[in-house]
């Protein structure tokens, strides 16, 4: 039986917002069954912002959620990915500002915080969203798809016209083990030539070599280089896992992203929710999901059927 999970203890940290550049204090707290992940703006008279697909308000370079009063939290995807990767269903996230701290640009610091707080089973069964039929959204040469599968699997393909990235592909059965080992430390990335433009538009004010991979014309500017082979597409996996967890529940299905980003990931969620026949809630014991978790796999390679379209 799979039960809902929450944190065992409260844990706190501080960091810098990637886009705001402002210092922010954050606490992760336990929450009761069926609460979901709820963000709490302590600087706005305790405004609550549930991490839910209905609350997605902006997808420019990050995922932003907002409540009916317009209270916002941005850059939620890496923390949401850590909650998803470690199977946390219910938690409160207290923040004294409008953005989750970027930390080192990956999900690993959030994994560490959650592991330090501890994770405990609760009394009610876990709820899943099971994909029943194929759903696809496209935007030019970008594509995102859900397909039925008895466990959670992600395939992601990127294609950048840059010699240090080019085409990269990853396929993985998502489990706590594969998430922590194979993708959690992959950092967000950006191009040096774009930094001035981003900052003139009020974005990436807190970006630095400490929290992002910065790519020059011919080399990686970070002193330590890359953490993984194909770190760029692995980070896209983190973003996708975090974005998909805004459904409010873990997924039983296969997600494929081709050049996809936050905007298209969100479009897929909206399309899925609009098609009631394409999904259903299941709870308790998806036996196949347990077996897939035990035999989880990761492939940092192309499969012929997953080749990036020209």
Which two three-digit tokens encode residue 244?
């998909």
Neighbours of 133 (CB within 10 A): 13
Reported as type and span, the H/E element at residue 199 is: helix 195-200
Half-sphere exposure of 7 (CA within 13 A, CB side): 24
Exactly one of 40, 78, 254, 262 is catalytic; name it: 262
**Nearest-10 Cα torsion for 227, 233, 238, 244:** 180
Determine whether 78 is an active site residue: no
Beta bridge partners of 92: 29, 38
Return phi, psi of residue 67, to 5°. Answer: -90, -175
CA distance 293 to 178: 9
Beta bridge partners of 64: 58
From 243, 230, 117, select the one nearest 183 (Cα to Cα). 230
Residues in contact with 110: Cβ distance below 8 Å, sequence separation at least 6, in sequence order: 78, 79, 81, 82, 83, 103
Q: Are 289 and 151 in contact (CB under 8 A)?
A: yes
Displacement of CA 43 from its chain's centroid (Å): 25
CA distance 67 to 32: 20
Which residues are the active-site residues?
Answer: 262
């Amino acid at each position: 039986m799979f039960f809902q999970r929450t944190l065992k203890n409260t844990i706190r940290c501080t960091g810098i917002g990637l886009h705001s550049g402002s210092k922010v204090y954050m606490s992760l707290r336990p929450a009761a069954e069926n609460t979901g992940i709820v963000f709490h703006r302590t600087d706005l008279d305790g405004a609550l912002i549930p991490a839910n697909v209905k609350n997605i308000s902006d997808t420019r370079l990050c995922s932003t959620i907002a409540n009916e009063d317009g209270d916002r939290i941005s850059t939620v995807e890496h923390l949401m990915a850590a909650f998803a990767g470690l199977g946390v269903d219910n938690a409160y996230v207290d923040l004294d500002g409008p953005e989750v701290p970027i930390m080192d640009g990956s999900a690993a610091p959030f994994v560490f915080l959650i592991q330090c707080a501890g994770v405990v089973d609760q009394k009610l069964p876990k709820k899943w969203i099971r994909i029943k039929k194929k759903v696809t959204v496209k935007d030019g040469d970008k594509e995102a798809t859900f397909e039925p599968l008895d466990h959670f699997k992600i395939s992601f393909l990127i294609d950048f016209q840059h010699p240090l990235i080019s085409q990269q592909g990853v396929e993985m059965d998502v489990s706590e083990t594969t998430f922590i080992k194979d993708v959690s430390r992959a950092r967000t990335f950006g191009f040096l030539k774009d930094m001035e433009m981003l900052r003139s538009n009020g974005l990436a004010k807190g970006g630095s070599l400490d929290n992002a991979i910065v790519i020059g014309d011919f080399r990686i500017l970070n002193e330590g280089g890359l953490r993984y082979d194909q770190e760029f597409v692995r980070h896209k996996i983190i973003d996708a896992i975090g974005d998909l967890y805004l459904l409010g529940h873990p997924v039983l299905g296969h997600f494929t992203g081709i050049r996809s980003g936050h905007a298209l990931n969100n479009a897929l969620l909206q399309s899925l929710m609009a098609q009631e026949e394409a999904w259903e809630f299941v709870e308790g014991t998806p036996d196949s999901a347990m077996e897939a978790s035990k035999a989880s796999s990761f492939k940092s390679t192309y499969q012929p059927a997953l080749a990036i379209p020209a």
